[in-house]
Amino acid sequence: MGGELCSGVIVETEAYGGQDDPASHAATRSGVTERNRAMFGPGGRAYVYQSYGVHWCTNVVTGPEGRAEAVLLRGLFPVTGSRLMSRRRRGRTPLCAGPGRLSEALGITDALYGHDLSSAPLQVCSGWAVPDTDVGVSGRIGIKAAADRPHRFYVRGFPGVSRPGTGPQDDG
């Protein structure tokens, strides 16, 4: 937006394991579809989809080409450009806690579907080192199928985490 930079540290994610994961968009008898084709592409690409026809959600494709695996970005701690993020969110809070809020704050839409995340305008770079003891693990949020799988990871006690300590597998 106008050449302004915003950045943050990802503090919450959920993993989706492809065709064998009933909660994954790739768990379909029809295989590759127009909606999920980015998940089957090379790792390091953006898989962006609209949830309930309202919110954009952003995933990082993580599997090798042909195997649909991705990680949903659920929470972000803003580092630079929080005013821009707030404008994009029209002043609503929380700013980046939750996948729809995160995508809106970063200005992510389907225009970035399949985007190579090693290049502008949206890049994923190395973040901070987080001790294992500060990482919470729980079941996934907002889904019915395979919600109990311990595939949600978050930095305990950090702003930007949507719901700390959620689920039966939560270890903290």
> What range does the domain containing 42 cover?
7-155
Domain assignment present for residue 27? The answer is: yes
Q: Is residue 162 part of a domain?
A: no
What is the token pair recorded at 68?
Answer: 């649909």
Q: Is residue 1 part of a domain?
A: no
Q: What domain count does the chain have?
A: 1
Residue 172: its pLDDT value, please? 47
What tens digit of pLDDT does each residue of 60-86 get? 999 999 989 999 999 999 999 999 999
Q: What's the first-to-final CA gap in the chain, in angstroms?
A: 39
Domain-embedded: residue 129:
yes
What pLDDT, in 10s, does the model give residues 2-20? 678 999 999 999 999 878 8
* Residue ranges in the chain assigned as alpha helix (H): 82-88, 99-106
Of 55, 54, 57, the residue nearest 46 (C-alpha): 57
Going by pLDDT thresholds of 50, 70 and 90, the confidence category of residue 165 is low
Domain containing 73 — which CATH number? 3.10.300.10
166, pLDDT greater than 60: no
